Amino acid sequence: MENAGKGSHSAAANPASCPLPDGLHVSSWKDAASALPEAAWRSLADHAISPNPFYENWFLLPSLEAFDPEGEVALALLVEDGRLCGLMPVQRSNGYHGRRIPHLAAWLHPNMFCGVPLVAAGYETKFWAACLDYFDSTAGRSLFFHLRQVSPDDDIAQGLRQACRHANRPMRTVYSAERALLESSQSPDRYLARSMTTKARKELRRQRKRLAESGSLEVVRHRSSEGIGEWVEAFLTLEERGWKGDAGSAIAADPRTTEVFRKALASAAVLGRLERLTLMCDGGPVAMLATFLTPPGSYAFKTAFDEDFARYSPGLQLQIENLVLLQDEDIQWCDSCAEPGHSMIERIWSERRKIAYYTIPVGHGWRRALGAVMAWIEEKRQEARQ
């Protein structure tokens, strides 16, 4: 897949103005959010060269309120010509993949599946150059900057490479993988015929028929805020009843993730950023899917199914209905947000999105040299694992 993140919202209005002076501003997210007009943030999201719903205000602010109430995470904001041109949450951390290594990182929590900063087209290299210069001057004990959940084909990653190259700064790939992606100009029927064997499609039709025999089936699709509160609660209940509830990994298992889920989906629905898809049997949900709409892309954020109906593959049945996304002129691709090698989604989505983690040394003198060595070691470990 090439440049899955490329493009901007064709229907977006002219960029909104930002009252902050030109330059890079880095401060606690609480201070930054209070100084940053909501219209400027939304305008940047609309004009960003690479969409990322997890850094839009309706998702990021509830996440920070839940996971960083003290305001330790900072927001890096680039303002040029009175316009917000770049935004990224940044944290200082001592934990690095199970080891104690002080570093800076773009902030994510476990339910955020993209770490691409929001950057206006044409400002990719300038944003990274400003951020890396700032990280050098304020590194403290940090040895490097760590960026996760980024596609190496993305314009933002290419801008980072260029900024590092201009500064003669190494940029190391410390993790790489591929996850399922939906991206095709084919119709849903032709896509399904291409991605699944005749035998597999026949089995799915048999399962669908048996499911219909157990009750009246209905597929419900919403892109409005109608009934959003009830839908969210039904999703939380459905997910918690399954294996994730038993494992303690369901959204409802943590009040912080529950609050983020409720607030983010409610706001996304009002803004037209959410599609809710539900497979109903006798009026009750047997499979549910929440997808964030960020033209020209989208993100299949969360899905759940009723395990009492597992023999009918309700999750897969719902994904077949989800292929209607291929007919949406505003949506060119959908990121599955799934683990690489996910057994269900990779049966039906045949494209793949590359995902990488990068480590870049920061600071000066021996500390930056040490960061460079550690980043090189991590890259070699990654190469050995492949």
What pLDDT, on the 0 to 100 scale, is given for residue 3?
A: 37
| Kind and range of the H or E run holding 243 | helix 243-247
What pLDDT, on the 0 to 100 scale, is given for residue 12?
A: 47
Q: How far apart are CA 330 and CA 7, in angstroms?
A: 11
Residue with tokens 């040895």: 143
Q: Check residue 330 and report its DSSP letter.
A: T
Residue with tokens 């084909």: 153
Fold of 23-179+354-385: Aminopeptidase (3.40.630)
Kindly give, in sequence order, each residue whose CB lies less than 8 Å from that of residue 378, ignoring residues fewer than 6 positions away. Answer: 172, 174, 359
| Kind and range of the H or E run holding 368 | helix 365-385
The one-letter code for the residue type at 330 is: D
Greatest Cα pair distance, the chain, in angstroms, is 71
Q: How far apart are CA 334 and CA 325, in angstroms?
A: 8
Closest by CA position to 335, among listed 296, 300, 293: 300
How do the domains of the chain map onto residue ranges? 23-179+354-385, 184-331
As to burial, measured by CB atoms within 10 angstroms (0-12 exposed, 13-18 middle, 19+ buried), residue 77 is buried
As to burial, measured by CB atoms within 10 angstroms (0-12 exposed, 13-18 middle, 19+ buried), residue 366 is exposed
What pLDDT, on the 0 to 100 scale, is given for residue 383?
A: 81
Q: Output the tens digit of pLDDT for each of the chain's 386 residues.
A: 333 433 334 344 678 899 999 999 999 999 999 999 999 999 999 999 999 999 999 999 999 999 999 999 999 999 999 999 999 999 999 988 888 999 999 999 999 999 999 999 999 999 999 999 999 999 999 999 999 999 999 999 999 999 999 999 999 999 999 999 999 999 999 999 999 999 999 999 999 999 999 999 999 999 999 999 999 999 999 999 999 999 999 999 999 999 999 999 999 999 999 999 999 999 999 999 999 999 999 999 999 999 999 999 999 999 999 999 999 999 999 999 999 999 999 999 999 999 999 999 999 989 889 988 988 988 888 888 76
User: Using an 8 Å Cβ cutoff, are 175 and 115 in contact?
Assistant: no
| Kind and range of the H or E run holding 255 | helix 255-270
Q: How far apart are CA 377 and CA 263, in angstroms?
A: 41
DSSP code per residue over 150-197? E-TTSHHHHHHHHHHHHTT---EEEEEEEEEEE--SS-HHHHHHHHS-
The number of beta carbons lying within 10 Å of the beta carbon of residue 175 is 17
The CA distances from residue 149 to 112, 355, 359, 384, in Å, are 9, 6, 12, 20
User: Using an 8 Å Cβ cutoff, are 264 and 62 in contact?
Assistant: yes
Residues in the chain: 386
Question: In degrees, to the nearest 5, what angle opens at C-alpha 358 toward C-alphas 355 and 360?
Answer: 165
What pLDDT, on the 0 to 100 scale, is given for residue 368?
A: 87
Q: What is the pTM of this model?
A: 0.93
| Domains 23-179+354-385 and 184-331 are alike in CATH topology | yes
The four Cα atoms 324, 310, 345, 319 give a dihedral, to 10 degrees, of: 0
Report helix, strand or coil for 147: strand
Q: Check residue 296 and report its DSSP letter.
A: T
Kindly give, in sequence order, each residue whose CB lies less than 8 Å from that of residue 226, ignoring residues fewer than 6 positions away. Answer: none
| Kind and range of the H or E run holding 356 | strand 351-361
Domain 184-331 class? alpha beta
Kindly give, in sequence order, each residue whose CB lies less than 8 Å from that of residue 93, ignoring residues fewer than 6 positions away. Answer: 102, 103, 104, 105
Phi then psi dihedrals of residue 301, to 5 deg: -70, -55
What pLDDT, on the 0 to 100 scale, is given for residue 13?
A: 60
User: Using an 8 Å Cβ cutoff, are 308 and 243 in contact?
Assistant: no
